[in-house]
């Protein structure tokens, strides 16, 4: 993320370079910006997705410890002189922490931000190390 002191400089933040189409996971797609954190026993991923209809334009899947957010921002039919908006398909895949409950994923969309959360196992539920005895062969 660009720091406040970097704004207004001639050179973009390094992370901005990875938003360009040639760094995308697939041609014709771009990556969306995300942040993640833990809150109230859940792992939370927030994604910037302004100007979309989350019910029609977003697909969220979870499989094998990976959360994938896919979608599309469609361009309106208005005649424009200039636009810096991004239109088209986007995708972002995030590896979930080990041991999360993939059957309890929740997603909300508010003010252009998609928030997806999944429960993190409590300390009691974490796998404990156990000693395996070695038997002598016959």
pLDDT digits (tens, 9 = 90+) for 24-57: 444 456 678 899 999 999 999 999 988 889 999 9
Instruction: Decide if 15 is inside a domain.
Output: no
Domain of 69 in residue numbering reads as: 29-74+85-122
CA 24, 26, 114, 78 torsion-angle sign: positive
Instruction: Decide if 39 is inside a domain.
Output: yes
Q: Which of 3-17, 25-39, 121-135 has the lowest mean pLDDT?
A: 3-17
Instruction: Decide if 21 is inside a domain.
Output: no
Q: What is the pTM of this model?
A: 0.65
The pLDDT of 53-69, averaged and rounded, is 93
Number of domains in the chain: 1
Instruction: Decide if 11 is inside a domain.
Output: no
Instruction: Decide if 52 is inside a domain.
Output: yes
Instruction: Decide if 128 is inside a domain.
Output: no
Instruction: Decide if 135 is inside a domain.
Output: no
CB atoms within 10 A of CB 115: 15
CA 40, CA 89: separation in Å to the nearest integer?
32
């Amino acid at each position: 993320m660009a720091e406040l002191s970097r704004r207004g400089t001639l050179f973009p933040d390094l992370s901005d370079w990875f938003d360009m189409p040639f760094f995308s996971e697939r041609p014709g797609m771009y990556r969306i910006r995300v942040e993640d954190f833990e809150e109230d026993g859940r792992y939370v991923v927030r994604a910037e997705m302004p100007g979309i209809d989350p019910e029609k334009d977003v697909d969220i899947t979870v499989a094998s410890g990976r959360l994938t957010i896919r979608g599309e921002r469609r361009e309106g039919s208005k005649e424009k002189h200039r636009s810096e908006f991004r239109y088209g398909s986007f995708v972002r895949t995030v590896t979930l922490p080990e041991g999360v409950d993939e059957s309890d994923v929740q997603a909300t969309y508010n003010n252009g931000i998609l928030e997806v959360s999944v429960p993190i196992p409590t300390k009691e539920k974490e796998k404990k190390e156990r000693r395996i005895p070695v038997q002598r062969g016959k």
